[in-house]
Amino acid sequence: MASRLATRLSALLLALLAGAAAASPAQRLGEAVRIPTISYQDRELIDYSQFAHFNQFLRDNYPLVFDALEVETVNGFSLLLRWPGSDPDLAPVLFTAHTDVVPVEPGTEGDWQHPPFAGVVADGRIYGRGTLDDKVGVLGLLEAAQQLLAEGFEPRRGIVFAFGHDEEISGHEGASALAERMRELGLHFAWMVDEGGMLVSDNPLLTGQTMAMINIAEKGYLTLILTATGEGGHSSNPPQVSTIGRLSNALARIEANPFPPRLVVPVAAMFETLAPHVGQPEQLIFENLWLTDWLVARNMAGNRATMPFVRTTTALTMFNAGVKENVVPQRAEARVNFRLLPGDEPEDVVSYIEEVVDDPLVEISYEQWDNRPGVAAIDGPGFAVISAAIAAVYPQAVVVPSLLTATTDTRHYVDLADDQYRFHGVELATSQATSVHGTDEYVGVRSYENSIAIARAMITGAAAP
């Protein structure tokens, strides 16, 4: 009792000393948005002083967390915070998020209702880059931990927070370094939670009900580099087939031959879980996927919004050739990005694309591919804890397993956790999802406060045996 009282008094004192701290969670998130921790593809453009500023902001606003937990700065700007449990025989649980954000597309700043890095709190919303991806995740976990520490909470199972600083550009300097440090410390986790699934308030299949999506898997990431070389020279005497023409033909064949659609385990599990909550004929279809999976996959493949859930996607993203309008280039290069369904291996993608292109004068290469997270258990303790945390805050929500069609830092932690889940705790409408990496990114104040409550419940649930 005395130790708990001392902890609470310490929390109060530290909070008073941190006079610059904002008055509410929403205001703190707004202040965090005002620190532009932007990751650029060209790392030379990154202002790392903003990341140092952001980390100091966290220390100032969550003093008890940074005082009570074992804190390390990893590779300059990533943060590792360890909250030891009272029972060292219990494997700890890992919670991850990232502190960097994507840039705002130049020329679109005026399209925002409020400036993207102003952190405006108005009309029941918090506006700005990072309010959904992913300062909301970082601050939400710290808000929850600060509350629990102030109450004298002591976990029986250890809790670890890992905040990478370059997730938006692969995580190779942030999460990768954090993972290596955790290996050095001999850490292995019962399960982990990263950013990802959210609560959707207006899913068309669930009229009047919120659907909470816990991602039990994510798609893989692979970029192929296609290079055509050939005769160049003056445009007055061009070759019969130019490098641009040859490469364009190869890209056209790739785009005309997408990967076939199929229903993978996480998506099938989502529909099976939804079946009791939907009307006919959907219920009949979802209850008999052994017979109807092809129909569901085909229909989803025909809709751009649902297609990524049933297909390894192909995106032509970069094309470079030529230096002058009257010079035929000797070399043309393109990059094609693939997001792989669980079960599709990078080697299979390369083989398929080589077969589709079928041109020995087009070289196909790749720089690297990362670890592929597996499919986490639906009947495991991690899924149960996350589900219970959601139910505590949204008792009417329908909780379903799902697939994350994007890629997260989870891939760097594959060997460190038995099961990897992705869940954000934020409630949003489907139309709001387009603001992630887009214009007018925002989170509702109540949604954010509820996400903190979910984070708190996840931590306390994870900390129990």
Q: What percent of the chain shows pLDDT beyond 70?
A: 95
Looking at the fold, whether 335 and 361 belong to one and the same domain comes out as yes
Looking at the fold, whether 263 and 342 belong to one and the same domain comes out as yes
**Count of structural domains within the chain:** 2
- Residue 12: is its pLDDT beyond 70? no
CA angle 405, 411, 417 (to 5 degrees): 115
Place of tokens 């509410």: 24
pLDDT the model gives residue 369: 74
Looking at the fold, whether 94 and 170 belong to one and the same domain comes out as yes
Burial classification of residue 34, based on how many CB atoms lie within 10 Å of its CB (0-12 exposed, 13-18 middle, 19 or more buried):
middle
The alpha-helical segments, DSSP class H, found in 260-408 are: 265-274, 282-287, 289-301, 346-357, 381-393
The alpha-helical segments, DSSP class H, found in 257-318 are: 265-274, 282-287, 289-301
Write the pLDDT tens digit of every residue in 157-199: 999 999 999 999 999 999 999 999 999 999 999 999 999 999 9
Looking at the fold, whether 177 and 251 belong to one and the same domain comes out as no
* CB-CB neighbours of 124 under 10 Å: 11
Looking at the fold, whether 362 and 384 belong to one and the same domain comes out as no
Looking at the fold, whether 387 and 431 belong to one and the same domain comes out as yes
Looking at the fold, whether 175 and 241 belong to one and the same domain comes out as no
* 208 within some domain: no
- Residue 452: is its pLDDT beyond 60? yes
Looking at the fold, whether 93 and 28 belong to one and the same domain comes out as yes
Buried b (16+ CB within 10 A) or exposed e, 302-314: eeeebbbbbbbbb
Domain that holds residue 48: 2-197+380-394+404-463
Residue 167 annotated in active site = yes
- Backbone dihedral angles phi then psi of residue 96, each to the nearest 5 degrees: -125, 155
Q: What is the CATH number of the domain that holds 283?
A: 3.30.70.360
307 — alpha (psi -120 to 50), left (phi > 0) or beta? alpha
Looking at the fold, whether 175 and 312 belong to one and the same domain comes out as no
Q: What is the CATH number of the domain that holds 458?
A: 3.40.630.10
Catalytic-role residue among 167, 173, 194, 427: 167
Q: What percent of the chain shows pLDDT beyond 90?
A: 88
* 205 within some domain: no
pLDDT the model gives residue 295: 97
CA angle 125, 129, 133 (to 5 degrees): 90
Looking at the fold, whether 41 and 112 belong to one and the same domain comes out as yes
Looking at the fold, whether 148 and 256 belong to one and the same domain comes out as no
pLDDT the model gives residue 4: 47
Catalytic-role residue among 31, 100, 143, 409: 100
Looking at the fold, whether 168 and 267 belong to one and the same domain comes out as no
Distance between terminal CA atoms of the chain?
Answer: 22
Sign of CA dihedral 279, 280, 281, 285: positive
The SS3 assignment for 106 reads coil
- Backbone dihedral angles phi then psi of residue 164, each to the nearest 5 degrees: -80, 160
pLDDT band at 19, cuts 50/70/90?
very low
pLDDT the model gives residue 10: 55
Residue 168 annotated in active site = no
